[in-house]
Amino acid sequence: MKKSFALLSVVFMLFLLVLTGCGNGDEASSSEAAEKKEGEKTKETRTVEHLYGEAEVPAEPKKVILLSHVSWEGSLVSVGVKPYAVMAYDNEFPPHLTEELEGVTALPYADEINTEEIVKLDPDLLIISDRYKPLYDQLSETIPTVVVEVGGDWKEDHLKVAEAVGKLDEGKKVIEDLEKEAEEIGTRVREKMGDETFMAVAINKKDIRVYGRTNHATNSLLFDDLKLTPAENLPEDFGENISIEGLAKYNPDHILDVSYFNSGEFYDSVTQGQVWKSLNAVKNNNVHTLTTTWGYWDPIERQKGLKEIESLLLN
């Protein structure tokens, strides 16, 4: 009897071990299936048309590197995507994106990019401006790459960047919200300013950029979004670079100073010179110095610029 009981006990234990083994196998299989499913998900792609053709990009890219001399990273942030790496001038991000880009890898702000350094970062998506065609030629076969042309319409650039990361609808919503806000601010500004004329300038290290009426994000902010009255003789296109003496043909009621560096020998020579002091805007204390000065190519800077212009002109 005891022997039979002992034998039954052994059989029962073996049965339990078999069940346990099967359970562990099921768990392992479930785990493997989940990993496989996740792997398949990350391999899902979308086709994005861009300046140089088409690119098969990840459905949900995780490591996005953006290379451009204008702040398209603001477009990424505006649709809820934090880039992995972007270019930084003197290792500093654009002032209007300092907080938003905290922790992002800073790449040298340069005309030529070291391809090996990009490969080491192992991105799953590259978004680059048309300035970097050599980079596209070298890397597009191995790294999904979307090329965006720096053009006159910031909205087209913004939407292409948003599309590249699978956020086209969100990108459109950003524009809609911004247009509504710009219309409201523009109405308030025009009620006070009337037909007073405006001109935007950036005093560089050796010359002065006078912004025109079209084909630049700064121009569209002032004359399309806010619908301000442009000064006489402004270039019809994106603008022109002039000498100090060249300022004499412009005489706006208001000057918006979007210089990146508001100091230095040339800056001082302009703002302390007789030509500058002879302008109506200067004589009437209507020179408005902005801190948002990266060209207004992304929606975050545009929104901050709108609010800053409103504050300067209405307060």
DSSP letters, 103-149, are TPEEEE--SS--HHHHHHH--SEEEEEGGGHHHHHHHTTTS-EEEE-
pLDDT tens for each residue of the chain, 315 residues long: 444 444 444 444 444 444 444 445 454 445 554 444 444 445 799 999 999 999 999 999 999 999 999 999 999 999 999 999 999 988 899 999 999 999 999 999 888 899 999 999 999 999 999 999 999 999 999 999 999 998 879 999 999 999 999 999 999 999 999 999 999 999 999 999 999 999 999 999 999 999 999 999 999 999 999 999 999 999 999 999 999 999 999 999 999 999 998 899 999 999 999 999 999 999 999 999 999 999 999 999 999 999 999 999 998
Q: DSSP state, 63?
A: S
Q: What is the pLDDT of residue 89?
A: 87
The CATH architecture annotation of domain 45-166 reads 3-Layer(aba) Sandwich (3.40)
Do domains 45-166 and 172-314 share one topology? The answer is yes
Q: For residue 278, what are its two tokens? A: 């002879």
Q: For residue 11, what are its two tokens? A: 């059989």
Nearest to 65 by CA among 107, 10, 27, 99: 107
Q: What is the pLDDT of residue 144?
A: 98
**Would you identify the CATH topology of the domain 172-314?**
Rossmann fold (3.40.50)
Q: What is the pLDDT of residue 19?
A: 44
The ranges assigned to domains in the chain are 45-166, 172-314
Q: What is the pLDDT of residue 32?
A: 56
